[in-house]
Structures are given as structure tokens and as C-alpha cells.
A and B are shown apart, each in its own frame.
Chain A
Amino acid sequence: MFAQHLPVLPIILPLMAAPLCILLGRSHLAWLLATLVSALSFVISVDVLLTTLEQGVLSYAIGGWQPPWGIEIRIDTASAMILSAVTGISTLVLVYAKESIAKEVDPSQHTLFYTAHLLCLTGLSGILSTGDAFNLFVFLEISSLATYTLVSLGSDKRCLTAAFRYLVMGTIGATFILIGVGMLYMKTGTLNMIDLADRIAEFNGNRTLKTGLAFILVGVSIKLALFPLHMWLPPAYTHAPSAVSAFLASTATKVAVYVMVRFIFTIYGAEFVFHTMSMDILLLALAIVAIFKCSFMATVQSNVKTVLAYSSVAQIGYMILGISLVSSVGLMAGLLHIFNHALMKGALFMAVGAVLLRTGSVDIKAFQGLGKQMPLTMAAFTIAGLSIIGVPLTAGFVSKWYLVTAALEQQQWVIAMLVLLGSLLAIIYIGRILEAAYFKEPSELTAGKDIKEAPMLMLVPMWVLVIANIYFGIDTSLTLSAADTAAQLLTQSMTEIEAAQ
């Protein structure tokens, strides 16, 4: 009886808890509630993931209205896998946030922070669960609006301009998506994804649908910060409170990548997008430029949060590259990297947040000498950094392995080489920070200060993610089977077409 409602709970629980946080009024009560709700959502998501691995797609009709008339919650392995990552990271970030926002966010706004965080989580869970194109837009806006609020909560005044910039770009993106979805509805008369897929196939090559695709792809590309539409991201991640950066970097853009996968593979069909519209070449080119341009930008920044932000844009390039290879292995590599990158970037931003708490700065100079003063934090940073580089026995190696395999399977040696060359830039931008931490004497920013190790409530979530990085780098059975099942399901139509040809 209860079990059948499980798929909808990761959306409903945070949505209900969000206003409660304000009503509770007290910061630590709100923290406790938000963390518990998020943890509960995580447990449910993992359960849903395991169910989808066994039984396939889960469908739930909201309010009992049957699809395609009502709104359908439709969770397949791809959604469940990312949902688990999102709710898991959210829980860890909330545990971490208590100490982190104490210094970075004005005390009167603490309950607001938890409310906005939960609303953002609602939106993200909604995007991942819904089977309805318009509903997806609504959830995207819920999460985006909450995100603008979260970014603007920072104590640094510059976070306001960053949030405003993000708001403008994000709204343009949302509008584009809305126009695209509108065109879809105009032509097909339905908003249910499965229904849409069927009807789009009938209208093969219709100009309105093609225009709709263009609008949607541009809109989603803004949301996922695909080069050259990424300019809003570095300032937003730099000036947002650390807990927010950690959460957004590892979830929000990834969910936008998921939206792109959903529109390309489920709604329009890979055949239409990649063969009729030749979007693969465009995405491939942009992905490669993103990897190199933004990795390079990351190597020359002095603010460590900006380094990580540019690194995020570059890593999104890897995900898009995987998608643009138009193969089941490529898509699998992209999905794997969504999951694995969440683990590494979350840990990295948490470590930086801990440094900000203790030294009051995130300039690379503040990191000098921290190897001795904050050994646990810097060890976490080191391991997560190695994972970004793609050193064996970390999660990053697994996704890179599959990405290169996917490229080589199509005889794309140059692309394979470029992917690996991108790792070299990661060595440089992570290496600079590690060198400062372990080999340089404390700079004038921190000299003479007594810097302690980060508090336990920050270290624990950080290290959970670090251990997850190593665990999923060694025992890959769960992530691989999930990503493989998800990719098979999504590319089913594609392989059928290929088989027919």
C-alpha cells in the first residue's frame, strides 16, 4: 500500500518540509528537519534505484489521474541513479552546512537557507522523476529560483551581482525551454514524454519540431553551462556560500545534463537529433572546446573556488562528449561521469569551504602550508583531486576509462587523445593547489594565525564523499550496472534503428 507511493516521496517530502523550516524558526531545528528529510529521500531513492534495476521503469500517476492525461512520475534507471546521487549529496551537504553557513550566512537567514535548499532539492527530484515535459519545466524553475536565492545568501556583496547574472541567464534559458516545449505541445497536443516520443516519430522532419528542438537545446545548454553559455557559472559558484557551491556543482548542472539526455534520447529520439539534425558534431565540438578552454582557465585562477568552478564547466564537457559520441557506451560514460563527478566536486568544494571557515579566504595563498595545519581536509582535497585527474582506483578513472573506450570503439583516436590530454590540465590546476598546501610556507594571509583542523561535522561528510570516490573506483559493479542499464534503455530506439539498417 505504502510502497506504491515511494517514487513520489523524494519530491513531496522536501516540498512539505520547506515551509516547516521557516515555521520552526530556530536554525538548528530547521537544520535537523532538513537533514532528516533529505536523508529519508536518499534512502527512498536508493530503494527506488534497486527496484528499477530489478523491475525496470516505475510509473506513478499523480492524484490517480492516469497518463497521458494526468501528470506521470516515471523513474527509470537513469533517473533513479542520478536521484540517488542528488539526494545523497544533499544530505551530506546539509550535515556539512551547519558549521559552514554559521560563518558565511547571516544568522537571521539560516532558516531561509534550509528552506531554499529543500525547495531546490524538490525541484531537482521533480525534474528527475517526472514523465511530463511541461512539469519538467515547472520543476526546473522551482529549483532554479531556489538556487538564485541560495547563491545570493553569501556574505560577500559580490554574490548579489553573481546571483543576478545567474538569474538573467537562467531565466533566458528557462524561457527558451518553455518556448520549445510550447512548440512541441502545439504540434503534438501532448506533454507526456512517452506520448510525445510516439507522435514526434509520426511527424518526422516537421519544421516546428525542429525549431522546438533548437530552443530546447539552447535553453538546456544555458542551464547546464555548456561552453560558450557558461559565463554565469564561475561567478555564481565563486561567491555563493561554500555549502551551496558544493551542492550546486555536484547536482544542479548534472540534472540539467540529465534534462538534455531526456529530451534527446527519450523525447526526440537519438536518430532524429543526431542523424537528421546532426547535433552530434555541434555538441562534440563545443564539448572539446569546453574541456580545453575551461581547464586552461582553471589553471590561471587565483581563487580556488573559481578554479573548481571552471573545472566543473570542463567536466560538463566530458559528459556532453560522452553523449555526443552517439553510442550506448558513450552515453553510459556520460551518465557515469555525472554520478562520479558529483562525488569528487562535492568533496572538493567541501574541503575549500572548510579552508574558508578556518582561514577566512579561498585565495590560493591561503592554502599555503595547510598540509600541516589542516591535514585531514587537505588529504580529502588531494584524493578528490586525484579523482578529478582520473588516477586509477578512484571514481574518476572509471568514467574516463569508459569515455576513452567509447571514443576508440568508433575509431576516434584523436578524441580519445584529447580526453586524456584534458587530464593533464587537471594535473596542473589541482597540482598548483596541492603544491601550495604541502610545499609552501604560510603566506601573509595566514601567517601567525593559529589554524585548526575543520570541525567534525564538516570532516565527516567530506570524508564520506572521499571514501565513496575510492569505493566506486574499486567496486564498480553498482555504478556500472546502473549506468549500463540506463544507457541501454535510453538508446534502445537507436539500436533498433541500427539493427534495422
Chain B
Amino acid sequence: MNIWSTLDPAQLINLTIVVPLIGAAFIALFSQQPNLREGVSIITAVVLFTLVLAVTDNTFSKLSMETTWVALFPGLEIAYSVEPLGVLFALVASFLWIITTIYSIGYMRGHNEENQTRFFFCFALSISTVMAICFSANLLTLFIFYELLTLSTYPLVTHAGTKEAKHGGRVYLGVLLSTSIVLFLLAILGTWVSAGTLNFTPGGVFTQAHSDSLVALLLVLFCYGIGKAALMPFHRWLPAAMVAPTPASSLLHAVAVVKAGVFSILKVVIYIFGIDNLSDIATTDVMLYIGTATVLLSSCVAMTKDSLKARLAYSTVSQLSYIVVGALLASSVAAAGASLHIATHAVGKITLFFCAGAIMVAAHKKNISEMVGLGRKMPITMIAFAIAALSIIGLPPMAGTWSKWYLMVGAVEADKMIIVVVLTISSLLNVAYLLPIPIKAFFNTPSGDQPAWSWSETKEAPLPSLIAIVVTTTACLWLFFYPQPLIDLINLIPDVSTELKGRP
């Protein structure tokens, strides 16, 4: 499926970054004609997806794709080069952008939100920066667009303009900017000064010549500096960002922004430190256990939250740490599981957020305690919620099974049984905080003064939103039965493999 095969491969990268920008320009141009504006959004998203498909096609045929924009410092450029992990992330982000745009149309109109042009405009901008992050060839490029992603999503977080939204925005910007400026930038400069390069190199850039303590320090700085990965205690921005309109929460704070964080960590681990060298670094285990602690603690916090979006936010914090743990296990299978989790968690979590938004639009409910019996009013939404929840938990036949499977296998391969135990406990916690919501919605009747819904008053979210929910739910199932294309892509990443070592 390569409709762009006539194009120069290097141009493809430029186009993936520029097309959303052009889209943004047209969105601003058509601010007075909502139908035209949303039409532009969808067309841009579809065009972007075909571009990313073309990039994927080229990746499978081992075509090298590189392009350089400008030399910022001597020997250091804003440059792009395609590698499989970035392609995976780009595929996920660009596919879900189409779905989210469709969903947003239903949500934003159903909710009568103001400033819709600004919303769609910033959305397109942030997707453009995400594409640049996916294909960045060195840490400097990654850092620049990492920062731009923070800035371009800030207006989305504060979209509502309420006091709460401003406070959320302040936390969001504060945590993400401070961690990135103080720790991430320091780590990048430390790498630059000691290793003399920031290019993503298979096998890593550090050699035996570099002092162990320096590399150990850099690993800690990277893990915490990439605040978008929401490793505790720098996770506060994620729940704070939930004041954003639900479509923004679902694409950005369940997929694009947070995945940009864990993607950066994976990228740093694979291409800066090198998976094989990871076990020699003194602080790897420390960060690994901080990751596991985050998995457990945030699951526990999620259980205490009654606001559905807050619960999903803490669930996201927990799931992100799966990926961090997978990256730090120093096992090629675990890294494969972590990479796959980028995709599987994305489809699962975006469905859950879509459902939360649909409930907000159709039933005007935010809190879980008010959703008892809601299954009668919104059966499709609630079924989708159940399926996505099962995927997050990691039960077959849902997509989440595979990533969790590989993570577990990786933990066994790395001989860290404690991680296996923690992952199992975490699955149980997921069951405890996610499944009661659909169960109560279908089987319980509300008590006390709450209204009881009956099957006759079925009122689902607006049609575009419903379509989006159905598509992502199908994706949750689809990726269980046909994960092979993604697994093939992951196996192309250097040092990452779904095959256990020692086997052919």
C-alpha cells in the first residue's frame, strides 16, 4: 500500500511533519465554516496516515530514509532518520489521529465547546511535533520537538479556561518544562560533552572508556528528565492534564504525549545506552524498581479515584511504567514487549477515554459512583469500555495480552522474578479498578435518589463519536488476532526481538 512510491523517501519525512502544519493553516483559515474546517482535519489526518504507511513500506524494504534541515551547532543538526521504533509510534499516532478527529467532531459539537478552531489547530500542531519526535535522528532534534510538543498542547489543557483548567495547565507546564530543562537537557549535554555525539546509534554511543559513574548518572537524568514518561514522583502533570477536553485527553494524554515520553526512554535505552550494556550500569536496577513501584502505587491511587478520567489517568501512569520497566530490563524480549505496549495500550486506553467522553456528552456524568446502571442507557459504549478494560488488563482475546506476555517473558529471561510477580499483581489491581465500572453499569440498579435508566431510553453519544469508539474497540480485538505486522516491525529494531536468545 504505497501510494507515495514515486516520492523521494527523504521527502516523505518532510511531508509527515509539514502536512499537519498545512492542515493547521487551513483549519485556521476556515475558522468560520465548521464543516469545512473539520473536513480539512480529517483529510489531513488521512493523508498523514497514508504517508506514514508509505514510510512503513519503505522500512520493511530496508530503504534508508534520512534528511537534514539545518545545522544548529557545528556537528549537530536538526535531522531526521527513520528507524522501526519511530515508525511504530508514528503509525499509532497518525492512525489514532484520524479516529480522534472523527470523535472530536461529535464530542466538541455535542458539548458546545468554545474556541473549536483553536482546539483543532493546536491538535494538528502537536501531531506535527509528534511526527518530528518519531523520526528524529539525534537527541537534540528529539529534545526540541519534545519541548514544542509541551508548548503546543498547553492551550489544549487549558482549553476550558476555568480556574481548574488554569491550575492544571500550570502544573502540566511546570512539571514538564522543569524536568526537561533541568534534567533532560543536562543529560543531553552530558552525553554530548562526554560521548561527542548525540546521534541515535544502534548499540549505544558509550564505550568502555566512559566512566561508569558518569553513565550511571546520565541514565537517572534521562529517566527523570523525560518527564512525559510520568515516572513517580514526576507524574503529577498527567492527572492535572485531565482538565483538557476529552478528545485531547484521549489522543494526547493517553497516546501522543505520554507515548512520546516512553518512546524517548526506549529510544535512549536502545540507541544511546544500548540494551546489551544496560545491565552493566549501576543505576539500571534502581530505576527499574522505581518503575515497578510506580506501576503498583499508581494502580493503588487509581482505585481511590471516583472521577472516571482521574482513574484512567492514574491507570495510564501505571501502564507507562510497564514500558519503562520493559526498557530497563536489559532483555531484548522485554524491549519488544515495551515497544508493542506502545501500540496495544494506545488502542485500549484511547477507547476508555472515548467512552468517558461519550458518557460525559450523553449522560453528563463524570464520577464512577453515578454510572451505576448506565449500561442500559449506553450499551454500546459500556460494552466497548469492558472490552478495552480487558485489553488493558491483558486478557485474551484482546491486544494487551501480547505486550504483557512479552514483558513477562522478558522479565523471566532477565531472571527478575520479582518483576513477574509485580506485573501479575498489577493485572489484578487493573481488574479491581476497571472491571467494576462496566459490571455495575450492566448488572446493578442505582440505589437511593439516583435516576434509574431503563432499556427504552437508550441514548448513545453522537454518531461520529460512536463510530470512533467502535473502530478502536475493533482494533483492540484485531491486534490480538493479527499482531504479526507490528511484531515484524518491532523485530526490525536493532537488539530488540520477540525471539528468546539461544533459539533460532
A residues near B (Cβ < 8 Å) are 389-393, 398, 401, 404-405, 408-409, 413, 416-417, 420-421, 423-424, 427, 431, 435, 439, 474-477, 480
Contact = CB atoms under 8 A, between A and B. Distances in A.
A424 B181 contact: yes
Contact of A427 (B143, B144, B177): B177
Nearest to A424: B178
Contact of B182 (A401, A413, A424): A424
Contacts of B111: none
A92 to B, nearest CB: 25
B193 interface: yes
Contacts of B186: 404, 413, 416-417, 420
Nearest to A417: B186
A435 B174 CA distance: 13
Contact of B189 (A408, A435, A475): A408
A398 B78 CA distance: 14
Contacts of A421: 182
Interface stretch (B65-73, B262-270, B297-305): B65-73
A401 B144 CA distance: 12
Nearest to A410: B193
B117 to A, nearest CB: 15
A343 to B, nearest CB: 17
Interface residues of B, number: 28
Given A393-B144, A427-B177, A420 B74 contact: no
B281 to A, nearest CB: 17
B331 interface: no
A498 B74 CA distance: 25
A427 B174 CA distance: 8
Nearest to B78: A474
A417 B177 CA distance: 15
Contacts of A480: 73-74
B144 A423 contact: no
Contacts of A389: 181
Interface string B179-216: 00110011001101110000000000000000000000
A401 B181 CA distance: 11
Nearest to B146: A392
A72 to B, nearest CB: 33
Contacts of A417: 182, 186
A46 to B, nearest CB: 22
A405 B193 CA distance: 7
B113 interface: no
Interface in B144-192: 144, 147-148, 151, 158, 161, 166, 170, 173-174, 177-178, 181-182, 185-186, 189-190, 192
A435 B167 CA distance: 11
13 contacts: A391-B147, A392-B144, A392-B147, A393-B148, A398-B73, A405-B192, A408-B193, A409-B193, A423-B181, A427-B177, A439-B161, A474-B70, A474-B72
A439 B155 CA distance: 11
Given A405-B193, A408-B190, A408-B193, A427 B178 contact: yes
Contacts of B173: 431
Given A391-B151, A424-B181, A431-B170, 12 more contacts: A392-B144, A408-B189, A408-B190, A413-B186, A416-B186, A416-B189, A420-B181, A420-B182, A423-B181, A424-B177, A439-B166, A477-B71
Nearest to B151: A391
Nearest to B193: A408
Pairs A-B, 4 closest by C-beta atoms: A392-B144, A408-B193, A420-B182, A404-B189
Nearest to A416: B186
Nearest to B70: A474
B164 to A, nearest CB: 12
Nearest to A481: B74
A477 B73 CA distance: 8
Interface in B11-46: none
Contacts of A476: 72-73
Contacts of A409: 193
Nearest to A426: B181
A416 B177 CA distance: 17
Nearest to B155: A438
A379 B181 CA distance: 22
